[in-house]
Amino acid sequence: MNSVIQCAHCGGLFAPNLRVKNQQYCGGKDCQLARKRNWQKEKLKTDPAYKTNQKDCQADWQRETETRSGKRNGDQKRQKSLRQLISDDGKRKGHGTHRIYAF
């Protein structure tokens, strides 16, 4: 007979899965989310590389959002006119001055 344990999130009693070591959360949706959050919190504390990855994901997500909201269009126009200036300047001076302006 399995003994029941108390869920660390909702406090409800449940029979833990014997294959899961140190199970602290029941199968409830909120409880599983809480388990994941807690795991991420622990991971952030102990694994700096994981934190960096999270930041990268965040940056990707922001770029994606900006692209969708059309904010990027303005940037592209601005960059195009800057590139125009750069190539004109480069032509005048006859060598790679554009390096100074590289983004």
Residues binding Zn ion (CB under 5 A): 7, 9-10, 26, 28, 31
Q: Tell me the closest approach of the beta carbon of residue 14 to Zn ion, in angstroms.
A: 7
Of 7 and 86, CB closest to Zn ion: 7
Of 5 and 10, CB closest to Zn ion: 10
Identify how many contiguous H helices and E strands the chain contains and give both numbers: 3, 2
> In this structure, what token pair is assigned to residue 70?
């059309």
Q: Tell me the closest approach of the beta carbon of residue 44 to Zn ion, in angstroms.
A: 23
Q: Which residues contact 24 (CB under 8 A, 6 or more apart)?
A: 5, 7, 8, 35
Q: Tell me the closest approach of the beta carbon of residue 33 to Zn ion, in angstroms.
A: 10
Q: How many residues does the chain have?
A: 103
First to last CA, the chain: 66
Q: Tell me the closest approach of the beta carbon of residue 35 to Zn ion, in angstroms.
A: 9
Of 5 and 90, CB closest to Zn ion: 5
Of 26 and 86, CB closest to Zn ion: 26
